[in-house]
Amino acid sequence: MHPSKHIIIIWKSAKLSMIIRLEKIKVKFKETTILPKIIPREEIESLLNYMYSHEHRNSNEKMYKYWLRDISVIETLFATGARVYEVSNIKIDCINLNTGLIKIMGKGGKERYIQIASAEILNILKKYYKHNSEAIQESGFFFVNSRGNRYTEYSIRLMLKKYAKLAGIERNITPHMFRHSFATYLIEEGVDVSCVQQILGHSSIKTTQIYIHIAAKKQAEILREMHPRKYMNILRVA
């Protein structure tokens, strides 16, 4: 055999061996955890206070109906932690205004029940229903627009953006941020993560556990700023 053919065979064999070795190498990249964005408590407070201070009871009935609907939607988002499309699709026969129990239709048609425990929020929801009952009954949806149709996710996003701007909030607030805030603040208050998982309708607890990272971040901030050692006159080692 000609020497050059030997060189070609050896080169091809070495190349094939290298390809096989490379195929066996499994490279694992650590995924970066992106923490959900939440709304600071003071901004939620500012938003709700603005809306309640601009109640349109003394204006025309049409404006008052819209105001009742909008404050009801925002209160429901924060009270339940539900996704915006879940709130938008609440049917009239899925909400009990006496007990505060709401049946939510989640991802994949999965049902779950969420309790609105605040008497103040229930009172607002009852007022909203009283002034919009005819349109609600005709559409079948609890939250309706000016034409008597379902109050869509897009309309809710625009509404929230409008009120946030009017309240002087510079942050871009979205409906889903209420869900993140709901979960984070419950965990900060010591609510068990499995309970939060059930309320949010997460199929995996791993999805819910991301809110623990946010709560831990807040805890670190509190301890850094408020721990009594910060105010003690302790000698430092050089």
Catalytic positions, written as ranges: 83, 107, 176, 179, 202, 211
CA 60, CA 56: separation in Å to the nearest integer? 8
CA 99, CA 190: separation in Å to the nearest integer? 25
CA proximity to 96, closest of 84, 88, 104, 106: 104
